[in-house]
Structure 1
Amino acid sequence: MKTIEQFKNKKVLVLGLARSGESAARLLAKLGAIVTVNDGKPFEENPAAQKLLEDGIKVICGSHPLELLDENFELMVKNPGIPYSNPMVERAIEKGIPVWTEVELAYLISEAPIVAITGSNGKTTTTTMIAEVLNAAGRKALLSGNIGFPASEVAQTAQAEDTLVMELSSFQLMGVDAFKPHIAVITNLMPTHIDYHGDFEGYVAAKWNLQNYMTADDYLILNVNQDLAKELAQKTQATVVPFSTEEVVDGAYLQDGLLYFKGEAIMEADEIGVPGSHNVENALATIAVAKLSGLPNESIRETLSSFGGVKHRLQKVGDLDGVTFYNDSKSTNILATQKALSGFDNSKVILIAGGLDRGNEFDELVPDITGLKKMVILGQSAERVKRAADKAGVTYVDAKDVADATRLAFELAEAGDVVLLSPANASWDMYANFEVRGDEFIATYESLKG
């Protein structure tokens, strides 16, 4: 970790704890800052705050008193999930106090070059692919950021010969200042998190902060299947490396079933270890990073061929009696399920779908489910999903939960078929989150196998 002096004896307020806030507070204290932590959770219910206090860091819990900001803080580091409409954040901005997220701290102390990945869809899978490709080639890649490992914690152990591979959300990128990755990827940009950013333009602007300080010596990898990316490519100082599944570009692209980088064939698209057209895009972005990092083609091909996906994101769980099980519990909306189905022959798929009823119909899904072997339908939204199945001419059975659905789907399947959990719905009618739902699918597969 770099030794930096800029925080020495400076008063810094860390707003919001969780793991990233605790990491930021500890790092700032290590760098000589005078740190105060403010978290809404009461102190007696807040083990992280208790431990920080034991270690000599000031904590104020249970509320967010605005008068706290009269203490001449020179910096606020906030939890990414706290919106800028929060009164504490608004008051800090009024007072001219810089408001950062902890990824800026990670950048300032990291000895390792940074590969940063953002986007609306596919960023976790792409981040994981990139790390696995780098590690397989003997380059030590350290995962961090939105993927679950606070960047300011991981960066402290990164060596100059390592690579810090960071997944970044728009929330995190709103709070960067001088942040500068050596290689950056934007997987795609779709309207999302509008409640946080106000409009799509605000969301795109947050993502675009990724490249603010990049130069011609740095590489920005963009998905030029989107016209928006083509427009943005004209507005950066970075060297743009495009990728596309629709046209030949001066970067990574799909042509006649092969994945290329600058005219050089790397591998067949069908060799990618996870199905779906979206995963071809993810693999192309990964190939671009790998080739810019000087990795050999064979290592890239072998790693992407054996890639099993990210847990709950079109994750191959295993095979049983010739039937393959895929866990795509993260598919909490129609678009995600459409993408999942794009990687399979519908006539071989038993789809498990349904969940929280948000009041929407599933007509958009009809073309994508047409031709399915069978559906197993569950949850509050079951009647709405059944209407779409009827329109698509797909027969279905009812299930009471994911465990029941998985067993029913396996009974309906034959060798060569796929059992796909891709619900197109949130999980909250039955499960605390999509991870719990996916874990039940995996556990049921294991019990069937056992």
Structure 2
Amino acid sequence: MSSDTLITLKEGPTLAALFRQRVERAPDAIAYTQYEENDATWHEHSWLETAREVARWQRALSKSGLQAGERVVIMCHNAWEWVICDQATLGLGLGLVLVPVFMNDRAENIVWISNDCSASLLVIEGQEQWDTLRESIDQLESIRDIVSLKKIEDSHPKLKSLEEWLPQEPYTLDLIANEAAPEELATIVYTSGTTGRPKGVMLSHHNIIWNIHAALHFFDIGPDNVFLSFLPLSHTFERTVGYYLAMVCGCTTAYNRSIPQLAEDLSLIRPTLLVSVPRIFERIYGRIMDKLAEESAVKQKLFKAAIDIGWKKFEYDQGREKWSSSLLLQPLLDTLVGSKVRQRLGGRPRFTVCGGAALSPDVARMFIGLGIPVTQGYGLTETSPIIAANPLESNIPASVGLPLPGVEVKISDEGELLTRSPSIMLGYPASLTDPLVPAFLGAGTWPR
């Protein structure tokens, strides 16, 4: 990757500074692409256009009377507006704190999260989210305003449409650059964990950006790449890799319309990089297998041969197998089978990153055998999130890979996985006085 393309940790020490750097370096480059229902058209947004809209949101947030450190909850699909809301909060008044929630979560959880973090503002997508929350509005103890991206026909005093909330000045506004320090709180991400109520994971700017640069030691990603974003931005995996990492590298991010439309969007957007979870690969695998079962025995054998020999080539390229004459058939089989399957993913996938759960060996073998590199990793919301990953040149699909450079891991006497790095969270909001918490902050001692 060109050194003038990548924004270094020093050049972009906070998430807001990272955004400003990208706008300055490539103002006219396409940053985001998304489908607009009002005119049934895909729209492209440059970095400069995005910055101007962020500035409008910052003025609106200022007029709402929000003070440094106050929480803003966002309950929306992945969209350009999600990024705008995030960047507007990050750069304003020593840093407001964005708290993302799942866009179709239950009202009970939204109320719990909003009250637990003492949120002041709630941003929702539209009627569906309003209908979910309408009967619980009075339980949102600290929320002063609710802003809806789409107009809602309701006269509740807290509800405002985005159109009336935003200032109407022309796009000549400058970004406000007044964010928190790198080590200070950037976001709170609520994760269900294993027991009890969701817990708020407090992540700093440095936690997230350090994790990105550690991951880039394993993956060479340049500005000519296109992400198709379909995992929820409320999850740290998609947010770190499909949003902030893309910004560090200058990539374009396109937003999937919906999971049922994913296959069509893959063909339209033709992404080079995908961030996914096993169920997406398993769904594609299942459809391919179902269709294959209806084909002739000859086609079934041809498909199996393409996977088997493609896998042998993968193992040979990885240095784990010797060359064999059967590899001479791989280019032909790839033309007949592999290239057609890759077309279902847009035709030009460089590689895909899979996390969140273990991917079935059979599924991984099919995709890799057909020329679609799948690399798995492991992490937690609490680790910003990547702990380990498989580099493309040393990819063992049955494993979660190697710890990122600078990430330490070990197994405790009780059999627990322990990790230490600069990407370990600041803590949980309700547990900051708990003497056990600082041991997990990566400051110098292993958890006891």
TM range (shorter): under 0.3
Relative contact order, CA 8 A, sep 6+: which one is greater? 2
TM-score (norm 1): 0.27
TM-score (norm 2): 0.27
